[in-house]
């Protein structure tokens, strides 16, 4: 039998220290009973709930990374370039959910939970991703309408998007545009602007669903909290039921 805090930490949702805090705070239930005793021994088949959410005992881990520029979003690179996996100290075989280009920065989730990764990426689940693009020039009202309604890239129209011009700079002749999409096609944002004659000079993913980059400098990462994981699961489940 294993100690409760160890089993919780091994599930990947939090550290052992934080697991101890959660136990003491009465947020942990084992087989239907709230357990506040540290070191409580659990059976291998016990059901453990943290904040009301069943933990997965297969050691699932979930990270949010603020990806820097100049790093590839694959698990290995044939050209020997640095990958996002090199940035995270984790012995488990984790992989990124979706891709960000070599020169794109910002929010990226990494996990070893394959089913969760597939669901997060599937366009039918409509997980919003917010990008901030610096482009050359100024969007016209009809360009904004086109981006919102969908642009044909690689022969297929993109889904509806939300678009907001955050800033225009007359001196450098550039604009900062916020665009929210839920698909994840290859180079999608760059291609959408390209189709309308604009070049994306800089691209950052600012948000995935409700997860933003608060507290994470470039190259920094953190584990998702049990609450965040269950909120993402809830989003996915709601979308699936529709």
Q: Which is nearer to ligand URA, 83 or 230 (CB)?
A: 83
Q: Is 158 in the site for ligand URA (CB under 6 A)?
A: no
Decide if residue 202 touches ligand URA (CB under 6 A). Answer: no
Cβ proximity to ligand URA: between 18 and 187 the closer is 187
Identify the CA nearest to 92 among candidates 59, 136, 46, 117. 59
Q: How far is CA 166 from the centre of its chain?
A: 23
Residue 4 has phi, psi (to 5 degrees) of: -55, -45
Residue selected from 2, 51, 101, 126 as contacting ligand URA according to rule CB under 6 A: 101
What x-and-dash track marks residues 170-189 binding ligand URA by CB under 6 A? -----------------xxx
Per the annotation, the verdict on 86 as an active-site residue is no
> Which of 100, 147, 177, 179 touches ligand URA (CB under 6 A)?
100
Annotated catalytic residue within 77, 101, 128, 212: 101
**115, 104 Cβ separation under 8 angstroms:** no
Among 67, 134, 182, 190, binds ligand URA (CB under 6 A): 190
* Contact partners, residue 119, CB within 8 Å, separation at least 6: 125, 236, 240
Q: Which residues pair with residue 41 across a beta bridge?
A: 3
- Closest distance between ligand URA and the C-beta of residue 82, in Å? 16
Contacts of 130 (CB under 8 A, 6+ apart): 178, 179, 180, 205, 206, 207, 208
**By C-beta, is 131 or 221 nearer to ligand URA?**
131
Q: Which residue in 11, 14, 104, 111 binds ligand URA (CB under 6 A)?
A: 104
The nearer residue to ligand URA, 11 or 104, going by C-beta atoms, is: 104
For CA atoms 104, 105, 111, 113, the dihedral sign is negative
Cα separation, 117 vs 110, in Å, equals 8
Q: Which amino acids are annotated catalytic?
A: 101
- Footprint on this chain of ligand URA (rule: CB under 6 A): 100-101, 104, 187-190, 203
């Amino acid at each position: 039998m294993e100690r409760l805090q160890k089993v919780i930490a091994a599930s990947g949702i939090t550290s052992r220290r934080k697991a101890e805090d959660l136990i003491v705070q009465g947020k942990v239930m084992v087989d239907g009973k709230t357990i506040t005793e540290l070191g409580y021994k659990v059976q291998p088949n016990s059901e453990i709930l943290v904040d009301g959410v069943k933990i997965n005992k297969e050691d699932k881990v979930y990270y949010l990374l603020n990806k820097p520029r100049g790093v590839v979003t694959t698990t290995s690179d044939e050209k020997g370039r640095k990958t996002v996996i090199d940035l995270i100290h984790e012995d488990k075989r984790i992989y990124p959910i979706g891709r960000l280009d070599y020169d794109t920065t910002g929010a990226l989730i990494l996990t070893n939970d394959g089913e969760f990764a597939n669901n997060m990426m599937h366009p039918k689940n409509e997980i919003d991703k917010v990008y901030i693009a610096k482009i050359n020039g100024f969007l016209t009202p009809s360009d904004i309408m086109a981006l919102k309604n969908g642009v044909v890239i690689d022969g297929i129209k993109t889904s509806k998007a939300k678009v907001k011009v955050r800033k225009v700079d007359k001196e450098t002749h550039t604009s900062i545009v916020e665009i929210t999409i839920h698909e994840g096609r290859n180079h999608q944002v760059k291609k959408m602007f390209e189709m309308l004659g604009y070049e994306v000079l800089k691209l950052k993913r600012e948000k995935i669903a409700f997860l933003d980059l608060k507290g994470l400098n470039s190259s920094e990462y953190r584990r998702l909290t049990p609450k965040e994981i269950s909120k993402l699961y809830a989003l996915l489940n709601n979308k699936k039921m529709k």
